[in-house]
């Protein structure tokens, strides 16, 4: 007689193939392990901000935090798009160049007399299509994202220089109104419209990642793409989708940067893609994909901004120390990520 091995399905089986598998919390643990990287980044931010408040007068105020958001609103949006890509185990090196291209398209269009609403739509469409094309190439031809987005980085920067090699000033009243517009919060805390847009994008991204099928599939692809395919998930659509989202966020960040600088320049945002990657990694998102939160990316941006602010308040250190501190911090977080992955294995 032939013996049959019958596996009885567990009661935890659900009809949703992309429902996240939640490991039981460690007995006696107050914080779920998946939240520890974000918590570590938050503690780091508090310690750095507390150090600044103790050393410098007028540092430890709510307005200083608001200023961090104001000065980095475009980087927050850029980091949100990068979070989607890195969660799938990919990378997007083109976003800084797309920011520069977006500022040039906006400045050139306004200089040509096109209405501001049309310019906004044109810029957003440019970045979205750019990201979509990169995603299609990565998916259809199975090319490493590093190579495709590196080519995209050169292409977008070249297109920006093709529009104009010189800086173009933005004199449009709508853009200047967005640049100078402010929202006053309780306690006389002032933020700009750019901050409102950035935090809105962050909230929408958090909802998409944690409350939609698309978001859960993003995590599944980053965790194990082959397993996700065997589960019947549309991994191709998701991989193309995350690069489209990244392109959209890069173009929106370019608009916010246009409001911030009131100019278009092909040399804008050089190296900003690396700042976005650093913010996402410092915020606790694994470079290997499958784990991370957009809130962590926000905290990563705040940590980078706090480093810059501390150096500015000190007044004796070169601005290059910002890069040194960020590099050391990024390396430390990557080493910690590798150590955590080895412990899981």
Q: Which residue has tokens 């705040």? A: 302
pLDDT tens-digit readout, 126-139 = 999 999 999 999 99
Distance of CA 204 to the CA centre of its chain: 13
DSSP state, residue 171: -
Instruction: Let me know if residue 171 belongs to a domain.
Output: yes
Given a contact cutoff of 8 angstroms between Cβ atoms, the answer to whether 80 and 249 are in contact is yes
User: Does 20 map to a domain?
Assistant: no
Q: Is residue 32 part of a domain?
A: no
**Contact (Cβ atoms closer than 8 angstroms) between residue 265 and residue 168:** yes
Number of domains into which the chain is organized:
1
Domain that holds residue 215: 37-44+61-344
pLDDT values of the chain reduced to their tens digit, one per residue, 345 residues: 444 444 444 444 444 444 444 444 445 457 677 788 888 899 999 999 999 999 888 888 899 999 999 999 999 999 999 999 999 999 999 999 999 999 999 999 999 989 999 999 999 999 999 999 999 999 999 899 999 999 999 999 999 999 999 999 999 899 999 988 889 898 889 999 999 999 999 999 999 999 999 999 999 998 888 888 888 888 889 999 999 999 999 999 999 999 999 999 999 999 899 999 999 999 989 888 888 899 999 999 999 999 888 888 877 777 777 788 888 888 888 887 777 666 655
Residue 13 contacts residue 226 (beta carbons within 8 Å): no
The residue written with tokens 């989607």 in the block is 84
Measured distance between the N- and C-terminal CA atoms of the chain, rounded to whole angstroms: 40
Non-local CB neighbours of 234 within 8 Å, separated by 6+ positions: 217
By residue count, the chain amounts to 345
Which has the closest alpha carbon to 81: 306, 300, 299, 297?
297
Would 268 be classed as within a structural domain? yes
- 253 contacts 126 by C-beta, under 8 angstroms: no
Answer yes or no: is 6 within a domain. Answer: no
- CA proximity to 127, closest of 82, 95, 84: 95
d(CA 205, CA 285): 14
Residue 235 lies in a domain: yes
What is the domain-level CATH number for residue 280? 1.10.3470
Phi and psi at residue 194, to the nearest 5°? -60, -40
Q: Is there a domain that residue 3 lies in?
A: no
Q: Would you say residue 9 lies in a domain? A: no
């Amino acid at each position: 007689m032939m013996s049959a091995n019958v596996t009885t399905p567990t009661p935890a089986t659900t009809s949703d193939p992309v429902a996240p598998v939640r490991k039981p919390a460690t007995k006696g643990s107050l914080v779920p392990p998946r939240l520890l990287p974000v918590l570590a980044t938050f503690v780091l931010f508090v310690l750095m901000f507390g150090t600044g408040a103790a050393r410098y007068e007028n540092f430890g105020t709510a307005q200083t935090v608001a200023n961090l958001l104001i000065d980095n609103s475009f980087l927050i949006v850029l980091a949100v798009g990068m979070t989607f890509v890195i969660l799938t185990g990919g990378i997007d090196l083109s976003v800084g160049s797309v920011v520069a291209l977006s500022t040039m398209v906006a400045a050139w269009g306004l200089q040509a007399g096109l209405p501001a609403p049309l310019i906004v739509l044109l810029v957003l469409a440019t970045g979205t299509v750019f990201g979509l094309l990169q995603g299609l190439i990565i998916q259809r031809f199975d090319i490493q994202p590093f190579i495709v987005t590196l080519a995209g980085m050169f292409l977008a920067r070249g297109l920006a220089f093709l529009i104009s090699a010189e800086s173009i000033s933005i004199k449009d009243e709508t853009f200047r109104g967005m640049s100078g517009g402010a929202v006053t919060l309780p306690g006389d805390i002032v933020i700009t419209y750019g901050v409102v847009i950035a935090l809105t994008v962050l909230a929408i991204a958090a909802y998409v990642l944690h409350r939609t099928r698309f978001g859960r599939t993003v995590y599944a692809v980053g965790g194990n793409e082959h397993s996700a395919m065997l589960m019947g998930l549309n991994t191709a659509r998701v991989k193309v989708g995350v690069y489209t989202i990244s392109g959209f966020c890069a173009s929106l960040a370019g608009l916010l940067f246009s409001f911030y600088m009131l100019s278009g320049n092909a040399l804008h945002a050089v190296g900003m893609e690396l700042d976005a990657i650093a913010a996402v990694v410092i915020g606790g998102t694994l470079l290997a994909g499958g784990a991370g939160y957009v809130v962590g990316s926000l905290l990563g941006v705040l940590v980078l901004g706090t480093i810059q602010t501390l150096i500015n308040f000190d007044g004796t250190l070169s601005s290059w120390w910002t890069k040194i501190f960020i590099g050391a911090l990024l390396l430390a977080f990557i080493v910690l990520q590798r150590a955590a992955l080895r412990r899981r294995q």
